[in-house]
Amino acid sequence: MSAKGHCLCGEIQELTRDFNGSIIGVLHNIQEKYGYLPENILREVAKETGFSLIDVYSVATFYKAFKLEPKGKHVVCVCTGTACHVRGSDKAVEELSRMLGVDPGDTTSDGQYSLETVNCLGACALAPLVVVDDHYQAQVTPAKVRKMFQEYAANSSEANLPAGR
């Protein structure tokens, strides 16, 4: 999925197809396609839509949903919403951050894991909640995080997480 090299005209056309005066939809398209917002694409899109580059860049950095760097192969996402916080999600974040050796928001140097935090996934009854590649892990504790993660790393090819209770 390299976004470099060849002519991007077709791709840019495709990405800006539903452009209606708002750049946010286009950025969503780009993110969906590449997993992040590559710089050269943003430059092309700015030209195509007539926005100044700095406006595109401002919007891209303002909103949390947009990433300017590629994500890891696996995304580990910890909910830090209020319900999860009062049930101790910060401990899970710390534990994961220690295990992966990255701060929340970063990706491991081997590009395998990204650690992210999110404000409420709307499943507060399961708090605290950790989501690994769309697998929900409910009511986690630091010890459970460790265990789950070791298992996960061991058989990540199958990518099957037990629904814990």
| Positions in the binding site for another protein (CB under 8 A) | 21-25, 27-28, 39, 52-59, 61-66, 80-87, 91, 94-95, 98-99, 118-127, 129, 136, 138, 141-143, 146, 163
CB nearer another protein, residue 115 or residue 129: 129
Cis preceding linkage at 142, omega within 30: no
Place of tokens 């969503």: 28
- Residue placing its CB nearer to ligand FES in the complex, 70 or 88: 88
Judged by CB under 6 A, the residue of 75, 99, 121, 138 near ligand FES is 121
Residue 113: its H or E element: strand 113-118
What is the nearest approach in angstroms of ligand FES to the Cβ of residue 9?
A: 42
Site string for ligand FES, 123-162 (x = CB under 6 A): xx--x-x---------------------------------
Among residues 164, 114, 97, 104, the alpha carbon closest in space to that of 137 is found at 164
> Greatest CA separation found in the chain?
52
Choose among ligand FES, another protein, none what residue 163 binds, the Cβ cut-off being 5 to 8 Å by kind.
another protein
Gyration radius of the chain over CA positions:
18
Closest to another protein by CB, 10 or 142: 142
Chain residues 80-109 in contact with ligand FES, contact rule CB under 6 A: 81-84
Indicate the residue among 115 and 127 with the shorter CB distance to ligand FES: 127
Instruction: Name the nearest CA neighbour of 121 among 135, 108, 107, 102.
Output: 135
**Cα separation, 59 vs 46, whole angstroms:** 12
Token pair for residue 77?
Answer: 């996402």
Is the separation of the CB atoms in 96 and 77 below 8 Å? no
Q: Which stretch binds ligand FES (CB under 6 A): 26-34, 54-62, 95-103, 117-125?
A: 117-125
